[in-house]
């Protein structure tokens, strides 16, 4: 049976990809609603080949500025034996790409890339079979070069075999992939395809999209998060030219104007009478608030022996509490989206990390079938999780519906800092018992995080306007890495899942695993100090022998950092400037990427100022597709998390967020970024795991442990501000 | 009601009609002239994503009233160099792969190019100090510094 069929609908979809750009931007015509397979078990959902042999890859995972687009191209080029230059990628378009779930969890390569690889390998095998028939040669005797299948002096190209037609074939997850020794593209650093356009100002972000007849909208958010707009005075906009409409529904208020500047002025000038609301907890008492929040569910994530009894029977007992502040995604670019209705069909362009989910959420909010909504991904500023992109899409959809013209919404800085969903407050209580040899007899960890599973975060516009929404709490932080892989006779780790949390929660890079690893690895350091043991040796003593890759990561980072074996803290703590080093290790979610790190710090005793002077990291994510891309992700993880750990903390009063700009929500600056030494451990024969998150998990504890080594003071509360350290130094 | 403001943008005369002469230059460049290489980041002069050159000096276009650009020489990322004739900083950003999401990269490049014009042989610390008010959230800092140093080496 010939697996290749000509499908008119598919050709239409293909044609839609190359229609003239209406305004010189990316070829994503709203009219392109033609059928194309999008089921994730269809090869045609992932791949098409046109009559010239150009390969288009369709992926549900999107490039959030991480470079994964280039890695997808490498994977397709490798398995199909075509040059990368012949591959283009379409990401996160609900009409064209398979639903591969949200782009989160460090899973784009591990899941999305592996699925694409299977589709490409399946296609290659089929092309070889077809070529074998055509050339009357067994497939095993054929070779593939540059998109052509060759038997001696005869050849047939992919374009000749399937060009312009749909590939009607089921994905075979077991189709043979290229063995490591045969790879020519994958596993080698490839320059990112997006960088030249970004460097010359030719890249088209969602922020740059223009549609014919497009208007500009801005939401007007309430000054108190739960307030309702009781009255809106449209006359207050009398002097602003080009105001088209004020939209008001419950707590949702928005303005639409002909020009962006008029929309901004109108949003600032609009007089609204807001109801009063003061439902946020007092920031100074946030941890009391967390402890007083009702527990909806108790989740034991690991249990061995009777940890409580083991601790109570130990000659030495340690107890500590670790907390991690509420964070904003604080993206560089305020969230943006464009919404356009054509009849009853809505197209939304956004930088959503989950366009397939957003489609359902928008349909629910608007009370229409999901089939009436198309969501198209375009890159925005890095989001590091579910930030405001989806909410800007909802704002744009409501405003576009009200005015019947396309509307672009870009938030202002205060909207972004104030209204993106937040990484929730995270609290971990730890206890351990230690025997006379310094061994841990029992370990108890109790974490307090919101209930729920990683679903959708409700759209702010739907909440404010009381429109239909899922009303399911998303936990933001998740339970992983509270359980650990160290050998101890008795362990119990428990997550207390809270009924509520003060701010709409969502995930921010390495959610939960970062906070849990911070608590676990810093408290383990406390145990090592109590035992008078070297922190690297102590970890190696506790890591099972069969954990060879983890042990290697740890041993290699110690060598990389020229680690001197001794216990912490360092002895001479009399000087004005104290120096120390700290080590940390994690096996991400206990099933994938291994990371180990050493941080070196300098602490100024008189001011409490903390400077991270050097950072060493070893990283084993199995097979690497684009090693330089992995390196960039590891660097980004370290710098981003240093920012979070040293500086970032949301501030708020009883009504709303008060850290609404970069002055009140400071982040890391160039002079504060340390030199980094990163060693990537390449394992081309292993499966590929994620690199977008794991290296972030090890940063908080590495820095905390280094501060302890320098000063003898343990920082257990993120961010590690000079004020906190100074207070601790004075108390020590 | 509207006012016409004339300036030189990327070497060519540009006329912009504005209803409000206080409208920041950012919107004139992005929306009226289609120069989207510069980005709106904060509107407060805090982050650097909107940086352009005004008479050769790095300036935050979100803070400049369009009227104040009258008669001035404005250069944006698009006018700094092209793939065929890249500015050394642009070429170095590519060589060092100093971009992740890239939303801040435009401002980083413009700030660095203006800096190198005056300080052609900077130390790494001088580069870091120069970029202290340019924010990046993806963590491209080490590569950006490497790129500016590479551009300085020529």
Q: Per residue in A161-216, pLDDT tens?
A: 998 888 899 999 999 999 999 999 999 999 999 999 999 999 999 999 999 999 99
- The residue among B101, B112, B147 with the most chain A CBs within 10 A of its CB, best to mutate, is B101
| pLDDT score recorded for residue A19 | 27
A129 and A37 fall within a common domain: yes
Q: With a cut of 70, say whether residue A63 has pLDDT above it.
A: yes
C-alpha pair distances (Å), A669 with each of A609, A672, B57, B147: 15, 5, 22, 17
Q: With a cut of 60, say whether residue A12 has pLDDT above it.
A: no
Nearest to B138 among A204, A628, A636 (CB): A636
Higher pLDDT, A360 or A10: A360
Place of tokens 């001035």: B72
Average pLDDT of chain A, as a whole number: 94
Give the domain CATH number at A546.
3.30.365.10
C-alpha–C-alpha distance, residues B154 and B142, integer Å: 19
A639 and A660 fall within a common domain: yes
Q: Per residue in A108-130, pLDDT tens?
A: 999 999 999 999 999 999 999 99
From A419, A445, A479, give the residue that closes a domain: A419
A105 and A146 fall within a common domain: yes
A336 and A404 fall within a common domain: yes
A215 and A251 fall within a common domain: yes
> With the C-alpha atoms ordered A506, A411, A667, A358, is the resulting torsion angle positive or negative?
positive
Q: With a cut of 50, say whether residue A340 has pLDDT above it.
A: yes
| pLDDT score recorded for residue A35 | 63
Task: Name the residue in chain A with its Cα closest to that of B88.
Answer: A199
* CA terminus-to-terminus distance, chain A: 78
A263 and A341 fall within a common domain: yes
Q: Which domain holds residue A172?
A: 4-190
Window 377-406 of A, Cβ < 8 Å to B: 379-382, 384
Q: Do residues B76 and B86 make contact, with C-beta atoms less than 8 angstroms apart? A: no
Q: With a cut of 60, say whether residue A84 has pLDDT above it.
A: yes
What percent of chain A has a predicted confidence (pLDDT) above 90? 92
| pLDDT score recorded for residue A32 | 46
Nearest to B135 among A195, A635, A667 (CB): A667
Q: Per residue in A686-705, pLDDT tens?
A: 999 999 999 999 999 999 99
Q: Which two tokens stand for residue A90?
A: 């379409």
- A640 in reach of chain B (CB within 8 A): yes
Q: Per residue in A365-402, pLDDT tens?
A: 999 999 999 999 999 999 999 999 999 999 999 999 99
Window 56-75 of B, Cβ < 8 Å to A: none
Distance of CA A306 to the CA centre of its chain: 37
3-state secondary structure of A577: strand
Which residues in chain A have Cβ-Cβ distances shorter than 8 Å to B132? Answer: 669-671
User: Sorting pLDDT into bands at 50, 70 and 90, what band is A605?
Assistant: very high
Q: Per residue in A246-297, pLDDT tens?
A: 999 999 999 999 999 999 999 999 999 999 999 999 999 999 999 999 999 9
Q: With a cut of 80, say whether residue A102 has pLDDT above it.
A: yes
Kindly list the averaged pLDDT for each block of 10 residues, start to end, along chain B of length 154: 94 96 98 98 98 98 98 98 98 98 98 98 98 98 98 94
pTM of the complete model: 0.95
| pLDDT score recorded for residue A359 | 98
Q: Is residue A195 part of a domain?
A: no
A390 and A440 fall within a common domain: no
| Averaged pLDDT, A703-721 | 98
User: Is the peptide bond between A569 and the residue preceding it cis, with omega within 30 degrees of 0?
Assistant: yes
List A341's β-bridge partners, or say none.
A346
Domains belonging to chain B, first-starting first, are: 3-79 (3.10.20.30), 82-153 (1.10.150.120)
A400 and A536 fall within a common domain: no
Q: Do residues A161 and A2 make contact, with C-beta atoms less than 8 angstroms apart? A: no
The backbone torsions φ and ψ at residue B114, rounded to the nearest 5 degrees and listed phi first, read -65, -40
Is the ipTM of this structure higher than 0.85? yes
User: Cβ of A335: how many Cβ atoms within 10 Å?
Assistant: 29
Overall domain count for chain A:
3
**A507, A462, A503: which is closest to A654 by C-alpha?**
A503
Q: Do residues A649 and A327 make contact, with C-beta atoms less than 8 angstroms apart? A: yes
From A163, A190, A217, give the residue that closes a domain: A190
Helices first, then strands: H and E counts in chain B: 6, 5
Burial of A548 from C-beta contacts in 10 A (0-12 / 13-18 / 19+): exposed
| Averaged pLDDT, A37-49 | 93
What percent of chain A has a predicted confidence (pLDDT) above 70? 95
Which residues in chain A have Cβ-Cβ distances shorter than 8 Å to B142? Answer: 635, 639, 673, 675-676
Q: With a cut of 70, say whether residue A26 has pLDDT above it.
A: no
Window 96-125 of B, Cβ < 8 Å to A: 97, 99-106, 109, 125
Q: Is residue A201 part of a domain?
A: no
A333 and A463 fall within a common domain: no
A221 and A353 fall within a common domain: yes
| Averaged pLDDT, A346-373 | 97
Q: Is residue A284 part of a domain?
A: no
| pLDDT score recorded for residue A106 | 87
- The residue among B104, B127, B137, B147 with the most chain A CBs within 10 A of its CB, best to mutate, is B137
Window 253-292 of A, Cβ < 8 Å to B: 259-262, 265
Vertex A579, ends A574 and A584: CA angle to 5°? 135
Nearest to B83 among A194, A196, A330 (CB): A196
B100 and A66 within 8 Å at the Cβ level: the answer is yes
B40 and A333 within 8 Å at the Cβ level: the answer is yes
Half-sphere exposure of residue A229, counting CA atoms within 13 Å on the CB side? 23
Q: With a cut of 80, say whether residue A535 has pLDDT above it.
A: yes
Q: Do residues A336 and A389 make contact, with C-beta atoms less than 8 angstroms apart? A: yes
> What is the helix, strand, coil percentage profile of chain A, to 5?
35, 25, 45
| pLDDT score recorded for residue A263 | 98
C-alpha–C-alpha distance, residues A482 and A521, integer Å: 10
A639 and B139 within 8 Å at the Cβ level: the answer is yes
A443 and A412 fall within a common domain: no
Q: Per residue in A144-173, pLDDT tens?
A: 999 999 999 999 999 999 988 888 999 999
B23 and A635 within 8 Å at the Cβ level: the answer is no
User: Sorting pLDDT into bands at 50, 70 and 90, what band is A34?
Assistant: low
A262 and A346 fall within a common domain: yes
């Amino acid at each position: 049976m010939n697996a290749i069929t000509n499908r008119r609908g598919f050709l239409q979809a293909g044609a839609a990809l190359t229609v003239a750009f209406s305004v010189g931007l990316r070829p994503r015509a709203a009219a392109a609603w033609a059928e194309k397979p999008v089921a994730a078990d269809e090869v045609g959902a992932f791949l098409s080949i046109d009559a010239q042999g150009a390969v288009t890859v369709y992926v549900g995972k999107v490039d959030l500025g991480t470079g994964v687009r280039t890695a997808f191209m490498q994977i397709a080029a490798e398995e199909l034996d075509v040059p990368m230059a012949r591959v283009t990628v379409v990401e996160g378009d609900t009409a064209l790409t398979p639903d591969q779930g949200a782009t989160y969890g460090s899973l784009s390569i591990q899941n999305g890339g592996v699925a694409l690889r299977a589709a490409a390998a399946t296609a290659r095998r089929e092309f070889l079979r077809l070529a074998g028939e055509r050339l009357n040669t067994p497939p095993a005797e054929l070779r593939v070069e540059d998109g052509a299948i060759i038997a001696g002096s005869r050849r047939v190209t992919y374009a000749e075999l399937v060009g312009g037609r749909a590939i009607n074939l089921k994905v075979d997850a077991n189709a043979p992939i290229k063995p490591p020794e045969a790879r020519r593209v994958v596993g080698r650093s490839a320059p990112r395809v997006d960088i030249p356009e970004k460097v010359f100002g030719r890249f088209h972000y969602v922020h740059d999209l223009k549609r014919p007849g497009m208007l500009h909208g801005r939401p007007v958010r309430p000054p108190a998060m739960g307030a309702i707009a009781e009255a809106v005075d449209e006359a207050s906009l009398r002097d602003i030219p080009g105001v088209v409409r004020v939209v008001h529904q419950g707590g949702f208020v928005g303005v639409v104007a002909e020009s962006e500047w008029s929309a901004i002025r109108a949003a600032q000038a609009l007089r609204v009478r807001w109801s009063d609301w003061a439902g946020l907890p007092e920031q100074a008492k946030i941890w009391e608030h967390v402890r007083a929040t009702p527990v909806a569910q108790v989740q034991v994530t690991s249990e061995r022996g009777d940890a409580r009894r083991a601790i109570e029977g130990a000659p030495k007992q340690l107890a500590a509490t670790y907390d991690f502040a509420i964070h904003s995604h604080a993206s560089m670019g305020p969230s943006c989206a464009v919404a356009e209705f054509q009849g009853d069909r809505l197209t939304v362009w956004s930088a959503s990390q989950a366009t397939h989910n957003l489609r359902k959420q928008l349909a629910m909010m608007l009370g229409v079938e999901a089939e009436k909504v198309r969501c198209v991904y375009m890159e925005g500023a890095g989001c590091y999780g579910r930030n405001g992109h989806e909410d800007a899409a909802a704002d744009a959809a409501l405003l576009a519906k009200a005015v019947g013209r396309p509307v672009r919404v870009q938030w202002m800085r205060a909207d972004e800092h104030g209204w993106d969903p937040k990484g929730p407050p995270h609290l971990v209580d730890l206890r351990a018992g230690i025997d006379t040899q310094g061994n841990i007899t029992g370990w108890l960890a109790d974490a307090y995080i919101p209930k729920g599973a990683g679903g959708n975060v409700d759209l702010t516009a739907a909440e404010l306007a009381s429109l239909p929404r899922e009303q399911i709490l998303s936990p933001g932080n998740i339970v992983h890495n509270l359980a650990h892989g160290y050998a101890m006779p008795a362990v119990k780790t428990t997550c207390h899942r809270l009924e509520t949390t003060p701010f709409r929660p969502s995930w921010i890079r390495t959610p939960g695993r970062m906070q849990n690893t911070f608590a676990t690895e810093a408290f383990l350091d406390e145990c090592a100090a109590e035992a008078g043991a070297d922190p690297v040796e102590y970890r190696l003593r506790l890591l099972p022998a069969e954990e060879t890759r983890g042990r290697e990561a740890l041993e290699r980072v110690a060598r990389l950092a020229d680690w001197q074996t001794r216990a912490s803290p360092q002895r001479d703590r009399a000087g004005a400037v104290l120096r120390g080093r700290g080590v940390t290790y994690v096996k991400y979610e206990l099933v994938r990427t291994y990371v180990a790190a050493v941080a070196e710090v300098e602490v100024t005793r008189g001011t409490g100022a903390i400077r991270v002077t050097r950072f060493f990291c070893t990283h084993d994510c199995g097979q690497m597709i684009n090693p330089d891309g992995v390196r960039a992700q590891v660097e980004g993880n370290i710098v981003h998390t240093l920012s979070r750990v040293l500086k970032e903390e949301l501030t708020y009063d009883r009504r709303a967020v008060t850290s609404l700009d970069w002055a009140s929500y400071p982040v890391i600056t160039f002079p504060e970024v340390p030199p980094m030494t990163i060693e990537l451990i390449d394992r081309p024969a292993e499966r590929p795991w994620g690199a977008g998150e794991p290296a972030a998990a090890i940063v908080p504890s590495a820095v905390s442990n280094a501060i302890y080594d320098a000063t003898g003071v343990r920082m257990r509360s993120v961010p590690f501000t000079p004020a906190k350290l100074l207070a601790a130094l004075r108390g020590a | 009601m509207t006012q016409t403001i004339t300036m030189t943008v990327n070497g060519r005369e540009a006329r912009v009609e504005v209803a409000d002469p206080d409208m920041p230059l950012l919107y004139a460049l992005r929306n009226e002239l289609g120069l989207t290489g510069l980005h709106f980041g904060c509107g407060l002069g805090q982050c650097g994503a909107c940086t352009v050159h005004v008479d050769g000096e790095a300036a935050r276009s979100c803070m400049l009233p369009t009227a104040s650009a009258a008669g001035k020489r404005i250069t944006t990322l698009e006018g700094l160099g092209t793939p065929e004739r890249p500015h050394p900083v642009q070429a170095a950003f590519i060589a060092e792969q100093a971009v992740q999401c890239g939303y801040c990269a435009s401002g980083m490049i413009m700030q660095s190019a203006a800096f190198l014009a005056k300080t052609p042989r900077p130390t790494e610390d001088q580069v870091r100090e120069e970029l202290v008010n340019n924010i990046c959230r993806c963590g491209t800092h080490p590569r950006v510094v490497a790129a500016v140093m590479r551009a300085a080496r020529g």
